[in-house]
Structure 1
Amino acid sequence: MCLNFLSVGKFLGQTAKLMVGVPDYDTYVQHMKNVHPDQTPMSYNDFFRERQEARYGGKGGFKCC
């Protein structure tokens, strides 16, 4: 039962992140291992920054504030 509760919690966390436009880092790392085993995954900080720039237009793109 505890494992099921943790699985539901992780799922809800992933869902909440996706709703605000932040993909799940663990899913990204697993994808890299499965599909691109010859490449090194980005660090969490690099991943987060890259996703924010892609969503909100970093590096001179659109800025709301």
Structure 2
Amino acid sequence: MDAASQSLRDRWKALSKCVCDGARLMVGQGDYAAYAAHVARTHPDQAPMSEVEFFRHRENARFGVGNTSGFRCC
């Protein structure tokens, strides 16, 4: 494979990741790997949530669980 094909493939892969990440964010699901990297970088003394805990946290935030402002999905 030549360099141009590899470059195009890398750019396509990066674009696909951006589109998928954007779609996840639109429905309230963040990127766990990005979250874990952020915690490791900015809060090295804290353990990150597990992937399941992170998913639940994002779901709760999306649907207003524990929110006192009155928002409710259904």
Same topology, TM > 0.5: yes
Between Structure 1 and Structure 2, whose CA radius of gyration is higher? 2
2:30 equivalent among 2, 20, 23: 23
Q: Which amino acid aligns with 1:17?
A: R
Aligned to 2:52: 45
Verify: 1:54 aligned to 2:39, yes or no.
no
Quote the offset at 1:63 in angstroms.
5.3
Gaps of 5+ in 1: none
Quote the offset at 1:57 in angstroms.
2.5
RMSD: 2.0
Scaled by the length of structure 2, what TM-score is found?
A: 0.71
Gaps of 5+ in 2: 1-7
Q: Segments of 4+ in structure 1 off by > 4 A? A: none
Q: Number of residues paired by the alignment? A: 64
Quote the sequence identity (%): 40
Quote the offset at 1:17 in angstroms.
0.7
Aligned to 1:34: 41
Q: Which amino acid aligns with 1:48?
A: F
Q: Which amino acid aligns with 1:18?
A: L
Quote the offset at 1:15 in angstroms.
0.3
